[in-house]
């Protein structure tokens, strides 16, 4: 005796199921505010704009070399390595400001009418505090014709031992 049920699906398969239509969103839920999440003027189905072309390997290498090189040059110029002290025998124009402080010092030709001092010695690696503490003028004592000493630099600089030019 056989106990197989009669009717649809008696061959061991399930009867077909009808699809359920989507339900409308419930007022006050996130599904209702979704259309507002898309910025105005942008279509949600558009693909994002293509990104810019990747830089070439040569350009990347140039950037890797040029950026550190520029930083190094800026550092040495800032530290005063770009400008050197006037050499012994050259002439300078010294302008004094308030309290006999040097407001400007520039190297010029000795034949120039503005030249008022001649460099008779250069003492390197002198800190500003050491120079200011030298009230006896011992920094330029190795140069007997020196009338004045002028300190130039940042932290460690140099002292120009200057002889006044008589006109």
Q: Report, as an integer, the average pLDDT of 144-150.
A: 89
Q: Which residue has the higher pLDDT, 43 or 9?
A: 43
pLDDT greater at residue 21 or residue 161 = 161
For position 51, what pLDDT does the model report? 66
* CA–CA gap between residue 46 and residue 44 (Å, rounded): 6
Residue 82's pLDDT band, with cuts at 50, 70 and 90, is: very low
pLDDT in tens, 23-73: 776 666 555 445 556 666 666 666 666 667 777 888 888 777 877 777 777
Considering only CA atoms, which of 128, 164, 116, 126 is closest in space to residue 143? 164
pLDDT digit string, tens, across residues 91-132: 988 887 776 667 677 888 989 888 898 999 999 888 888 888
pTM of the model: 0.50
């Amino acid at each position: 005796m056989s106990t197989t049920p009669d009717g649809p699906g008696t061959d061991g398969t399930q009867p077909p199921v009808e699809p359920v239509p989507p339900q409308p969103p419930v007022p006050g839920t996130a599904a209702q505010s979704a259309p507002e999440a898309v910025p105005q003027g942008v279509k949600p189905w558009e693909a994002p704009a293509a990104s810019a072309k990747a830089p070439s390997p040569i350009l990347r290498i140039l950037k890797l070399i040029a950026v550190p090189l520029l930083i190094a040059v800026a550092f040495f110029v800032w530290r005063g390595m770009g400008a050197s002290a006037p050499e012994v025998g050259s002439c300078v124009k010294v302008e004094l400001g308030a309290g006999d402080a040097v407001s400007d010092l520039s190297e010029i030709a000795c034949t120039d009418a503005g030249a008022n001092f001649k460099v008779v010695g250069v003492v390197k690696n002198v800190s500003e505090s050491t120079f200011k503490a030298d009230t006896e003028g011992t920094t330029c004592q190795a140069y007997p014709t020196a009338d004045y000493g002028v300190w130039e630099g940042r932290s460690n600089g140099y002292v120009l031992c200057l002889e006044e030019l008589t006109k």
